[in-house]
Amino acid sequence: MKTVKEVSKLTGISVRTLHYYDEIGLFRPTEVKETGYRFYDDKAIDKLGQILVFRELDLPLADIKLIMDNPDLDRNTVLAKQREMLCAKSQRIERIIASIDEMLKGDQNMDLTVFDETEIRTMFTDMLQNMNESQKQIFIDHYGSIEAWEQHMMEAASDEKVQKNFAKVVEWYGGKETVKESIKNQPNSEVFAAYQKRIDDIQKRIAEKKGTDVTSFEVRQLIGEYDFVAKQLYQVKDAQSLLMDIAKEYHENEELISRLDSVYGSGSAKYIGEAIEAFYTSPSKISQ
């Protein structure tokens, strides 16, 4: 058994932080003496190690607690997930390092390309194969032909803003190959419509809670359902980045705000956005 000071020295985590983790129910001592001294066994220290890896991956404490409290997750499952996430983060860092190396060699422009031309053409073909005729017709009406639509995509893909959006998608899915596989195996239009209808229903139920504290159990339960359905619809293992970006749009995108408010009532977009953010980031209720 180790004291809180020994655990602090071993892990580099301050005593104050360890006390805070105890307060919010994230990491509790194995034993607390009558004098108030905290003691931790090897199993507890192993759990702290897993928590610290998630913190390294920039996961909020609320999300880490949900993961660690899941009775269906064993130690190996958690470690396997952490390894997968660290690999994805490592790949992103390696791309940045490679770009910096090129700059040091004399190229003054950092290459932020996420998907090259060949990859984009392949993804376009895969996407086209999964579309029904009515979906294709929408783009034909807009661009004049499928070929013109493809040309537009290829020209837009070189834009820095578009590549940054690609980077966000890669972050949502946890890697480039996962994105490609998702596009290749995306659900048919009927399945997609069914999932979208369910998301619409969830958003409606969240909007009906306007005036309720976004950190309340009933609202968090709805966002948890939203998270689950988003994972199924978009075939991502972790929907947090995706939904947090959606929440940002609900605060900043005037057109989207107007559309949601017209469907669910005034203030709905703002409330749904706040509920999503609270689900992933609010530390005040995570011990409940």
Cα 149–chain centre separation: 29
Q: 170 and 83 in one domain? A: no
Q: 212 and 240 in one domain? A: yes
Q: 98 and 15 in one domain? A: yes
Q: 228 and 166 in one domain? A: no
238 within some domain? yes
105 within some domain? yes
287 within some domain? no
Q: 178 and 193 in one domain? A: no
Which of 168, 186, 204 marks a domain boundary?
Answer: 186
79 within some domain? yes
Q: How distant, in Å, are the alpha carbons of 6, 33, 149, 150 from that of 17?
A: 14, 20, 53, 52
Residue-level pLDDT at 285: 44
Long-range Cβ pairs for the range 36-41 (8 Å, 24+): 37/3, 37/4, 38/3, 38/4, 39/1, 39/2, 39/3, 40/1, 40/2, 40/3, 40/4, 40/7, 41/1, 41/2
57 within some domain? yes
Q: How many domains does the chain have?
A: 3
Which of 170, 186, 202 marks a domain boundary?
Answer: 186
288 within some domain? no
Q: 175 and 272 in one domain? A: no
Q: 59 and 7 in one domain? A: yes
Nearest in space to 10 (alpha carbons), one of 67, 48, 36: 48
127 within some domain? yes
Q: 138 and 72 in one domain? A: no
Domain that holds residue 168: 112-186
Spatial separation of the C-alpha atoms in residues 263 and 45, rounded to whole Å: 49
List the chain pLDDT tens, one digit each, 288 residues: 999 999 998 888 899 999 999 999 999 999 999 888 999 999 999 889 888 888 877 777 887 887 777 766 666 777 777 777 777 667 767 766 776 676 666 655 545 567 777 887 887 787 777 666 766 776 787 678 888 878 877 777 767 666 666 676 666 566 677 667 766 666 555 666 677 788 899 999 999 999 999 988 889 889 988 988 887 777 666 788 788 888 988 998 898 899 899 999 999 999 999 999 999 886 544 433
Question: At a CB cut-off of 8 Å and minimum separation 6, what does 182 contact?
Answer: 173, 234, 235, 236
Tokens standing for 129?
């194969």
286 within some domain? no
